[in-house]
């Protein structure tokens, strides 16, 4: 029986847009087709400009790579509203504030309806904030409604594309697919973009700028730090960033494989043994998603307040200064003080090793690591990954740990030796990698690379499972297909 909160959404379930579950077995090649179709449609929407705006407006979202958004297009909001709504509902359900039984099909259906409803609401709230906050300048009421309608329609389409992939027509998750595509797009652009010439007289892409440096016999240092003709450091892609990106990929792939394996045995059949893995990244990259969502909202709110207050100069409004101080650099707004200044990473190694840049770098690293550890421990219980829950799952599935009674309590005590420690270490590691990588100008941001490696690893496993299940249908039930 659905809880009182979920019952509110029962009348809405018949009106909510939905992608139907496939009524037949979808083959591996067909799943690849629908996955590719969803990705292509998303990429097309990232290139279609919003009708009715003049120019792209000032950039309100710093972490666009994480939210798979693109400035001034139908994907202005990206997956931000969907992820925010889903995370809030998951937290409420996991903490017991919302009564939901995911084993009950009716509850699952109502929970999905609630997620869709709040995704649309969040899309409307963010779209309204963009328009009222003056992101696109002064607009007439008619144009404002037109832009609002475009953003709502694009949000619903994106939500349906994610549902298409998740409901069995495709492979994996649409949200993960779009994040990975955004990161890959950014890495490709930062490496090979022919855009330019820029302030240093070279093209935008790091690899193209590298060959220009070699051909023009410029100082070799200019491939690691790009400086304009006035001697100012440019925050542009460099070979240092490319090397760091490759290094972070290798490090994260290695960290993904670090685990503690506990021996387990099947109680009913002697001799059947296996291992229960406890990965170093036990809660995966969820802490980075939580932290990035929090930092993006701080940036979002501080820019809106700054703009609504008439873009005051530092020192004229205490509360605005406390939250965030900004200045214009060309067409972009850059934080120069306040809370928002310390939740965004300096993306220049020269700034990091100078004063007060080193203070900002230390503050950002401390905040990022702290929040990742806190979110890891929070999700441990909220997400049902705690020692007590895992012990119950092992006992209920007929497994036991050799040398221990087949009871939840002794297994729970054993798991408590590992799971909390691994959770804290994992949160510390992902926070440290995500923050330090940005200091070297990693392409796609440290958070983006962390997420993309995790997503690629999951997709590799899913593709292998789908391929095996397609070749050997008898194994489909074992693999969960």
327 three-class SS: strand
Q: How does the average pLDDT of the chain come out, rounded?
A: 83
Structure tokens at 88: 């809030």
Q: Measured between alpha carbons, how far is 389 from 127 in angstroms, rounded to an integer?
A: 40
Q: Are 448 and 183 in contact (CB under 8 A)?
A: yes
Q: Measured between alpha carbons, how far is 354 from 360 in angstroms, rounded to an integer?
A: 10
With a CB cutoff of 8 Å and minimum separation 6, the contacts of 165 are 34, 35, 38, 171, 172, 173, 174, 177
Structure tokens at 324: 């965030």
Q: Is the pLDDT of residue 475 over 70?
A: no
Name the helix (H) or strand (E) containing 133.
none
Q: Which residues pair with 233 in a beta bridge?
A: 227
Q: Measured between alpha carbons, how far is 442 from 103 in angstroms, rounded to an integer?
A: 42
Q: Are 452 and 184 in contact (CB under 8 A)?
A: yes
Over residues 420-474, the pLDDT tens digits come to: 999 999 999 999 998 899 888 899 888 888 888 888 888 887 777 777 666 655 5
Percent of the chain with pLDDT over 90: 19
With a CB cutoff of 8 Å and minimum separation 6, the contacts of 120 are 81, 152, 155, 156, 159
Task: Specify whether domain 240-443 bears CATH 3.50.50.60.
Answer: no
| Domain limits, the chain | 1-179, 194-236, 240-443
With a CB cutoff of 8 Å and minimum separation 6, the contacts of 251 are 433
Domains 1-179 and 240-443 share a fold: yes
The most confident of 97-101, 185-189, 334-338, 344-348, by mean pLDDT:
185-189
2.60.40.10, 3.50.50.60, 3.10.290.10, 1.10.3370.10: CATH of 1-179 = 1.10.3370.10
Distance of CA 281 to the CA centre of its chain: 16
Residue 171: exposure state from Cβ atoms within 10 A (0-12, 13-18, ≥19): buried
Residue 445: exposure state from Cβ atoms within 10 A (0-12, 13-18, ≥19): buried
Distance of CA 378 to the CA centre of its chain: 18
Q: How confident is the model at residue 375 (pLDDT cuts 50, 70, 90)?
A: confident
pTM, two decimal places: 0.82
- CA-to-CA separations, 361 to 54, 296, 317, 343, 358, in angstroms, rounded: 36, 18, 26, 10, 5
Over residues 215-265, the pLDDT tens digits come to: 888 888 888 888 877 777 777 888 999 999 999 999 988 888 888 888 877
């Amino acid at each position: 029986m659905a809880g009182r909160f979920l019952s509110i959404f029962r009348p809405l379930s018949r009106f909510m847009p939905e992608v139907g579950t496939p009524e037949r077995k979808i083959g591996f090649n067909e799943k690849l087709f629908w996955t590719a179709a969803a990705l292509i449609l998303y990429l097309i929407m990232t290139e279609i400009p919003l009708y009715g705006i003049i120019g792209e407006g000032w950039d309100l979202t710093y972490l666009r790579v994480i939210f798979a958004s693109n400035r001034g297009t139908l994907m202005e909001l990206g997956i931000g509203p969907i992820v925010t709504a889903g995370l809030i509902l998951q937290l409420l359900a996991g903490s017991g504030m919302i009564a939901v039984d995911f084993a009950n099909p009716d509850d699952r259906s109502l929970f999905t309806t609630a997620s869709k409803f709040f995704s649309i609401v969040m899309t409307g709230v963010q779209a309204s904030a963009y328009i009222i906050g003056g992101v696109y300048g002064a607009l007439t009421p008619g144009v404002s409604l037109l832009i609002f309608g475009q953003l709502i329609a694009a949000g619903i389409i994106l939500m349906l594309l994610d549902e298409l992939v998740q409901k069995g027509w495709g492979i994996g998750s649409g949200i993960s697919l779009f994040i990975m595509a955004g990161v890959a797009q950014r890495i490709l652009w930062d490496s090979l973009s022919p855009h330019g010439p820029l302030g240093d007289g070279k093209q935008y892409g790091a690899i193209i700028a590298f060959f220009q440096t070699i051909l023009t016999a410029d100082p070799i240092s200019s491939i690691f730090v790009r400086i304009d003709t006035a001697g100012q450091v440019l925050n542009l892609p460099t070979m240092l960033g490319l090397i760091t990106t490759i290094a972070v990929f290798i490090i994260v792939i290695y960290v993904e494989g670090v685990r503690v394996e506990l021996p387990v045995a099947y109680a009913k059949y002697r001799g059947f043994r296996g291992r229960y893995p406890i990965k170093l990244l036990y809660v995966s990259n969820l802490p980075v998603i939580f932290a990035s969502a929090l930092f993006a909202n701080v940036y979002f709110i501080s820019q809106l307040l700054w703009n609504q207050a008439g873009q005051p100069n530092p020192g004229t409004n205490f509360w605005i200064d406390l939250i965030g101080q900004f200045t214009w650099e060309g067409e972009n707004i850059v934080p120069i003080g306040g809370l928002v200044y310390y939740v965004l990473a300096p993306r220049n190694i020269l700034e990091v090793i100078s004063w007060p840049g080193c203070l900002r770098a230390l503050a950002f690293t401390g905040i990022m690591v702290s929040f990742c550890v806190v979110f890891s421990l929070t999700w441990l219980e909220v997400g049902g990954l705690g020692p007590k829950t895992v012990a119950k799952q092992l006992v209920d599935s007929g497994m036991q740990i050799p040398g221990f009674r087949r009871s939840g309590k002794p297994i729970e005590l054993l798991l408590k030796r590992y799971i909390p420690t691994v959770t804290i270490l994992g949160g510390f590691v992902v926070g440290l990698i995500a923050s330090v990588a940005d200091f070297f100008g990693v392409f796609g941001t440290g958070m983006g690379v962390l997420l993309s490696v995790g997503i690629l690893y999951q997709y590799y496993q899913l593709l292998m499972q789908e391929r095996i299940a397609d070749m050997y249908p008898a194994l489909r039930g074992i693999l969960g297909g």
